[in-house]
Structures are given as C-alpha cells and as structure tokens.
Amino acid sequence: MSSLSLVIPVYNEANNVAEVGRRCADALRAGPQGESWEILFVDDGSRDETTMRVAQLAAGDARFRLISLARN
C-alpha cells in the first residue's frame, strides 16, 4: 500500500480553497484502490479567511491538513 501527500501553498485564497480541495480530493479518490492520501495546505501568512476555510475542510475530512506559517 502506498501513500501520497499533495502539498498546496496558499496565500489569501479564501475564495478558492474549497473548490481546489474538492477537485484534488476527487482526483485522488479516482486513483488506485487502497492508496492512502492527504492534502496539505500550507498557509503563508494569509490575511483573509484562508486559514478558517482550510480548517473547515479539515473538520469534515481528516485527510485535509493545515500548516499555518506565522508570517510571509
């Protein structure tokens, strides 16, 4: 069994993270059966609601994760 981590850098992307997360998750689900995966958003000090939106994704699916950098 293999695993895959998709790393997505974000900065002030509150309006886009849900759609990007959905599309990436759909693509990863369509991959080989039995392959585990995660989507890791790295927030580079956003000043909008990006962190909150990614946290909402993570609350709904543990395969979504967030690393929030203190500053850009």
DSSP, residue by residue, 37-63: EEEEEEE-S-SSSHHHHHHHHHHH-TT
> What's the whole-model pTM score?
0.90
70 compared with 4, residue with greater pLDDT: 4
DSSP tag of 3: E
pLDDT band at residue 68 using 50, 70 and 90 as cut-offs = very high
